[in-house]
Amino acid sequence: LIITMRVLFGWLARIAVGVVWTWTPPTRALTTNPLAVVADPARRALFVDGADLAARYAATVLSLPSGHERDLRSVKDELFADLPRGATIVELGPGPGTNAAWLAKAAPRRYVAVEKNPYFAPQPWIAAPEAPAEVIRARSLAEVATGSADVVVATCVLCSCADARSVLRDIRRVLKPAGRYYFLEHVAAEPPDGWYARGQRAVRPLQQALADGCDPAKRTETLLREVFAGDDLVVRRRTRLPGHFPIGPTIAGVAELAAGSRR
């Protein structure tokens, strides 16, 4: 109960900071020069562009310190232990750089950051001495060439994808033969009729509204096994993080594309 309350208050604090930070720029513009805001379409858009406000809010909240990310460190230590060095790595949804420490150790030759949210700050490790020789930024996987990646990394991303199956197919498309997809996702609890799974479905609308579209009840493992059927998919870790309802149930693993497999 104590852990749950701590996580709850932490989330409430993050939401409050996100709301304040999201509305600060447009509010300051309005109070400083309201006539200029009315006359300038770009400034008016700060108030009426829901997608822009949502993107700013998501970047703010996800960039704050997170107990969930802290509790995932041991899972990531195990997951990324065999990241190939000097590879071409495509990271889907790097956000504030939650995987930067592990990717930097792999010293990728080429790093492709696929991030649709423009409000995330550039990751510091990209400018560090161990930075990749080539850094490419893209807004979607559609911009990444077929068969160009040795590795694709995506953690806690599929929950927010409206069409996760299509995203997984795109991940498979960009991988080279024998390329690896490293995944870490929170998933729907088992059994489906258990109290935890029922709770996930009950809070789904609120979670999606406050957490960038995150669906805590998505059956992500089923989608993974469907798209990567015929490939070598191994779930390395299956756990339920205590105190992180509704996103406690978590899987982490690697899907390796079978040589000569059809895309």
Determine the pLDDT at residue 28.
52
Tokens of 97: 């750089």
What spatial distance separates the first Cα and last Cα of the chain, rounded to whole Å?
47
> What CA–CA distance (Å, rounded) separates 199 from 147?
40
Q: How far apart are CA 187 and CA 156, in angstroms?
A: 10
Q: Which residue from 151, 169, 173, 170 is spatially nearest to 99, judged by alpha carbons?
A: 151
Q: Which of 73, 81, 102, 136 is nearest to 254 (CA)?
A: 81
Residue 230 clears pLDDT 60, i.e. is over it: yes
Rounded CA separation 11/58 (Å)? 13
The model's pTM: 0.83
Among 17-21, 151-155, 214-218, 257-261, the minimum mean pLDDT is found in 17-21
Q: Are 62 and 19 in contact (CB under 8 A)?
A: no
Can you give the pLDDT at residue 44?
Answer: 47
The per-residue pLDDT for 129 is 65
Interval 165-180 mean pLDDT: 97
Percent of the chain with pLDDT over 70: 77
Pairing verdict, β 149-155 and 134-138: unpaired
Between CA 116 and CA 113 the distance in angstroms is: 10
Q: What length is written for the chain?
A: 263
Cα–Cα distance, 106 to 85 (Å, whole number) = 5
Around Cβ 45, how many Cβ atoms within 10 Å? Answer: 12
Predicted confidence at residue 59, as pLDDT, reads 79
Q: Which helix (H) or strand (E) holds 127?
A: none
Residue from 91, 25, 100 nearest 57 by CA: 25
Q: Report d(CA 116, CA 102) in Å as an integer.
A: 22
